[in-house]
Structure 1
């Protein structure tokens, strides 16, 4: 196993700025977005797709595109621990490394039984030959397709007529899909990025795959690949059915965790 390290920027929404081994950086950076543009965002601003890893909370899309905390400064509580408040909820993240793996432990607190979605929006720097490995043929919900606001159920690896498990050259498509799984391996060249996640108290977890091969945005499309472990099973908190959101318990708390490892092939 090639050890992973992580760096974040609490002042810029807790953003993950690096997830790397000594030999490669896994996180993609958008060359179209100068660092000063990302640094200038304020709460309520439209999402700035700078790359890296953004924390999308307490929703992923909807009226608050990518949530509310990506644009807010986080408080640093201790080494590896950061905290932010939004929408009556509080989110705490503890980052640790052990035996070459990176682990993020999240705690959400707020009014008991509050509804929440939370995606760790990792944009990855992978080549056209990269592939995703997910066990079995889990259920897939393609969101915002075939038209804005719509959802389309299918099964892995179908993503509404495109393969979610493979990328290849730009084909002019863009899909966002929620996959009913708690694990994925990203295989690229001689490296395997293994992601595993889970939540307390039976809260639903899943995976968001953002497969944009030059299909978004209109007028100036580019290529980006998002692999996003998700607390919940939808991307829009306002639209989500009751069984597709996570809920805080009777004490107003919910915890979940994500672990990343780099495994050479």
Structure 2
């Protein structure tokens, strides 16, 4: 457990994927939790078992392995540092505090040239009045289903004006514009409406506002592409038993599926054999 006096407390579960099980401040718990009995017994290669919290998704989010290779493996804990070995890489995470916020320092080692995505897959307990603040007009990609096709938009409004669908990022061949809905406000969460949409925004920062509380995410990764993914599931997923799930996910990379990543859409291990990045989360009353 790491405490950032007086506002932030974090608890993780190294035995189950290094998952962040609590992120609280001032008596408020920010992470949502679901009763998902499969989560405790998952093994590498299993389908994702959504129990809420913050999962470490690497080297991909969608595609295979589902939500990556690290969330389904036990991690080794040594003080405030936890680590996991996967077939193609070794990941370590060290938790600390700075200016009242929680700081997570990451280091991934692999063969030079190895490409990967990472997402701090944070699923949040946010009310219908909650909103997500990202710099106005930041370019983003709207995903309407579980695949790799996306439509370009500018935060926070999707579906306004022309939008081109792309598969595999900006390096993919151009295709005709696809039909879009009249308007989607990604910053406003609102009541459940039966929709489930994902987006990735080219920004290193995002802030969640809910009542008098705010939660700020900031990502630093020199030399690597960074973004923030937003999963806006208002009881539209899964079809068999939909539930509400709001995800704000700082990322290395700019796509959900590593297999669909263009040349500049994924992180790449340099000649040194390691990539370092820092995630800072600050909660303010």
Matching residue of 1:74: 75
- SS class of match (2:68): coil
Does 1:199 pair with 2:248?
no
| Segments of 4+ moved more than 6 angstroms | none
Matching residue of 1:219: 240
Matching residue of 1:184: 206
How many angstroms does 1:164 deviate by?
1.1
Measure, in 2, the Cα distance between the counterparts of 1:193 and 1:248: 30
Matching residue of 2:47: 46
Matching residue of 1:110: 110
How many angstroms does 1:44 deviate by?
1.0
Structure 1 residues 82-91 or 251-260, which shifts more? 82-91
Matching residue of 1:4: 8
Contact 1:146/1:152 (CA < 8 Å) preserved in 2? Answer: no
Contact 2:10/2:22 (CA < 8 Å) preserved in 1? Answer: yes
Gaps of 5+ in 1: none
How many angstroms does 1:79 deviate by?
1.2
Contact 1:212/1:224 (CA < 8 Å) preserved in 2? Answer: yes
Structure number with greater Rg is 2
Counterpart of 2:281 (choices 239, 257, 260) is: 260
Gaps of 5+ in 2: 160-182
What aligned pairs does 1:1-265 form with structure 2 within 5 A after superposition? 3-31=7-35, 33-34=36-37, 37-76=38-77, 78-143=78-143, 145=144, 148-160=147-159, 161-200=183-222, 202-264=223-285
Give the structure-1-normalised TM-score.
0.93
Cα shift readout 1:138-175 (whole Å, capped 9, x = no counterpart): 111123x2673321111111345421101110011101
Contact 1:3/1:99 (CA < 8 Å) preserved in 2? Answer: no
- SS class of match (2:184): coil
Residue-pair matches, total: 258
Measure, in 2, the Cα distance between the counterparts of 1:147 and 1:81: 33
- SS class of match (2:39): helix
- SS class of match (1:244): coil
